[in-house]
Amino acid sequence: MATVFTHAFVATALGAARPRGVSPLKVAVVLSAVAVLPDVDVLAFRLGIPYEHPLGHRGLTHSLPFAAVVGMLTPWLWFREVPRFTRAWWVLALLSFLACASHGVLDALTDAGRGVGFFLPFADGRYFAPWRPLETSPVSPIAFFHGRSFEILANELLWVWLPVGLLWMAVHQARGR
């Protein structure tokens, strides 16, 4: 999996497209939480659920249908000040979907694991991207900080942070900020 830092960074960058009048800090925090949410499935290991199971790691919570549900619930739960079903509400729903879906996409770009269940519960297949430049981060924070954390972060800096940062700057430039 990609690091929690990278998942949150991508989500925060998506916040550049937030509707006007919505707090940038609130959008950054909520989208970061939404982007990290799919890894709640690591609890499956403790519950004895095998990796390959639809509820296992990189399964249902990494799927596009799960991201769609999260996308629809997020503005309803966290942005109640935005009138429902307005353009701003739909933009927040789309950003939430993209933040949650980005988790599976980033994990599909890693060099280990058993693939991502993008279409669960409708199809059981697990998928990787054809190009996998990201080094897989350990699930355990202890293993991460006592392992190859610098190498993993340097790799993500090159392949994710730099391109996303450039895209973020372009969006801000285009919006005149």
Query: Would you list the domain boundaries of the chain?
Result: 4-175
Looking at every residue in the chain, the average pLDDT score rounds to 94
**pTM for the whole thing?**
0.93
At 110 the pLDDT is 97
Q: How confident is the model at residue 146 (pLDDT cuts 50, 70, 90)?
A: confident
Q: What is the pLDDT of residue 177?
A: 58
Q: Can you tell me which residue has the tokens 């991508």?
A: 10
Percentage of the chain modeled with pLDDT above 70? 99
Q: Is the pLDDT score of 126 beyond 80?
A: yes
pLDDT at 29 exceeding the cut of 90: yes
Helix ranges (DSSP H) in the chain: 4-14, 24-36, 43-46, 64-78, 87-108, 141-145, 149-156, 162-175
Residue range 103-123: average pLDDT? 96
